[in-house]
Amino acid sequence: MSVKEEIGYNLNIFLWFCIIGIAVVFSAPKQIVWGYTWIMFSLIGMLTMIWALISPEMMDKSWISVVYSSFTHSLPVVIMIVILSWVITMRLQYAEYFNNDSIPKMYYNYLYVANMLLIFEILSIYNTTKNKFVGESVHGDGAMAKIQKTVNSQQGGILYLLIAINFVIVSIMNTILKYYMTDG
């Protein structure tokens, strides 16, 4: 098995762990912490793989370029891990309110949007990482090939936009839990 095949194989494993976490999040709302934990550990594994793939190509460069390259390649994954940690912390901090079903319905609407954005973010990170390290390219000159090439070239910007929107959504969720809950 070649190195590119191994990288693709490992990426697929991490993607499937994320899919398991997403399935837990959507199928068992009371177990959302478990689902997010699956996703978070899968992203940590992907982050470790990205760092491992960056280090051999940076061996002969200065430590500043190694840090910069590691930072630029792994920033979206790190931000997603921070956002997931924030949601898990909110869920644990307000566990009593969740168990008593005294959370405003508005919170669940934002949670659904955040989860959908999370799916697109995971797929975008998977696609970006696979294109970067496996080097799968689009073949042909048809309309679909042109669309795919355009999307691949803009993938990083789209990913950062999705992450920024998700950050705002999770901030709103935090505000709802902090200021718009009643005890009765």
- Residue 127 CB-half CA count within 13 A: 18
Distances 86 to 6, 117, 170, 173 between C-alpha atoms, Å: 32, 15, 8, 10
Angle at 74 between CA 149 and CA 157, to 5 degrees: 40
Residue 147 has pLDDT above 80, yes or no: no
Which candidate, 137, 163, 5, 10, places its Cα nearest to that of 75? 163
Q: What is the pLDDT of residues 22-68, one digit of tens each?
A: 999 999 878 899 999 999 999 999 888 887 777 666 666 777 777 77
Q: What is the pLDDT of residues 100-142, one digit of tens each?
A: 888 889 999 999 999 999 999 999 888 888 877 776 655 566 7
The distance of Cα 141 from the centroid of its chain, to the nearest Å, equals 31
Instruction: Give the global pTM.
Output: 0.83
Which token pair is 77?
Answer: 């994954």
How far apart, in whole angstroms, are the C-alpha atoms of residue 122 and residue 128?
10
